[in-house]
Structure 1
Amino acid sequence: MEAKASDRAYAALREDIVEWRLAPGTVLQEVEQSERLGVSRTPVREALARLTADGLVAAQGGRGLVVTAVSVESVEQLFQLRRALEQEAARAAAKNRDLAVFLDLRDRFRAAADLLDDGDPTHARYYDLVDHLDRAIDDAAANPYLVAALRNLRPHLARLRRVSRDDPDRLRAAAQEHLLIVEAIADGDAGLAASATRVHLHRSLQNVLLSAERLTSTKETV
């Protein structure tokens, strides 16, 4: 029972951090979080230990455990690793892909504008589609070490979605960039899949960096 409570606490806290409901610098006290989540302190303690291992939470002096900052420097470091991993994953996926899977994704990304116009400010259906693409590439890459590295990186990247979510033009451009990646993988063109991924990540990074000043002005850390 405690293990299940720990999993629930971990999932809830992780989502709150990724969605910025728990902003960088927020102090995470066991008693407060256990009351908020409706579980005892032990599963919260275990969840915080997992989040610390993920790099989403860290000890900070006398303040205890806090949600880690996402600095401009850390964004650039994350994207440096992301480029290496995602380009290789796209290249491998193009060589090993299940054609039917990526043809379906191609059709869905061609209709992505409808998902972005559905009136949901969180764009949940669009991000579900992006997550589906990530899983499809992971499966097609067929490299458990590469996939494990990507999955460890994604919680940090998900925290940056807030930036694009507030920029409709960037979201639409990103959807087209994803479509190019999907089409290249469907065509079995490994070089083009890697190149399309590189372009997408370059533009995504530039968008995040350009938004740094705006987020800082609202007293949030990028």
Structure 2
Amino acid sequence: MRASDKAYAALREDILEWRLAPGTVLGEVELSERLGVSRTPVREALGRLTAEGLTTAAGGRGVVVTAISLEDIDELFELRETLEVRAAALAAERGERGIFAELHSELLQAPALLEGSDPARHDYYALVAKLDDAIDAAISNSYLAQALRSLRVHLVRVRRLAADDAARLGAAAAEHAAIAEAIAGGNAKLAEAATILHLHRSLSHVKNSNVKASHTS
């Protein structure tokens, strides 16, 4: 792996996992020492992160991790509904039903993962990512798939922003199972409806979590 790719992957993960919080200043000298690479790869990595919208130039302060506001969340979910609802419908029309039937079965077992330790929860998130990947492959539209992948980078940060509530995660697992079931049945309208319901409930949870956090901070 090239040094710039190594630096990019490490910094990207730290931002997505909130180890580098919004507003954190990313200095080239400090990062090069921490990551064990020269400043040039760090500079290239920061350029890629800025292109993704994860960092931004902040005048004399250099590069900082971008913030996520409630307004940003609303805008992300507006785009998310536009893209994901259409993708679910296309997957129902074009996808291999057996793949989604298997995913439906796996998602029905997801609550057991959510009752376990943090590694088990990572398995749940991996299962959701597997559904996303299956939808991306099924839609047979490289432009839409790329737009979805770019959007999900920011949605991972939003998910970390919300409280990791077991009840909500269990409900989300059931919602994902319903989406997979609708696609497996080839029912585009039902896939759209299941996706809209999931997005509505997800947005409500994220916003309510942030309102509660602001009242207790």
Amino-acid identity (%)? 59
Partner of 1:88: 86
CA RMSD in angstroms, aligned pairs only: 1.5
Q: Is the 8 A contact 1:90 1:137 kept in 2?
A: yes
Match of 2:152 among 151, 154, 171: 154
Q: How many matched pairs?
A: 217
Partner of 1:188: 186
Partner of 2:7: 9
Structure 1's unaligned 5+ residue stretches are none
Alpha-carbon distance between aligned partners in 2 of 1:66 and 1:218, rounded to the nearest angstrom: 26
SS at the partner of 2:24? Answer: coil
Q: Is the 8 A contact 1:30 1:45 kept in 2?
A: yes
Q: Is the 8 A contact 2:162 2:209 kept in 1?
A: no
Match of 2:47 among 36, 49, 52: 49
Which digits, 9 at most, give the CA deviation of each residue in 1:97-123, with x for residues without a partner? Answer: 112211110110010011112222781
Partner of 2:31: 33
SS at the partner of 1:66? Answer: strand
SS at the partner of 2:56? Answer: strand
SS at the partner of 1:115? Answer: helix
Q: What amino acid is the match of 1:132? A: K
Shift of 1:8: 1.2
Alpha-carbon distance between aligned partners in 2 of 1:97 and 1:61, rounded to the nearest angstrom: 47
Shift of 1:163: 4.1
Partner of 2:97: 99
Structure 2's unaligned 5+ residue stretches are none
Partner of 1:128: 126
Q: What amino acid is the match of 2:146? A: A
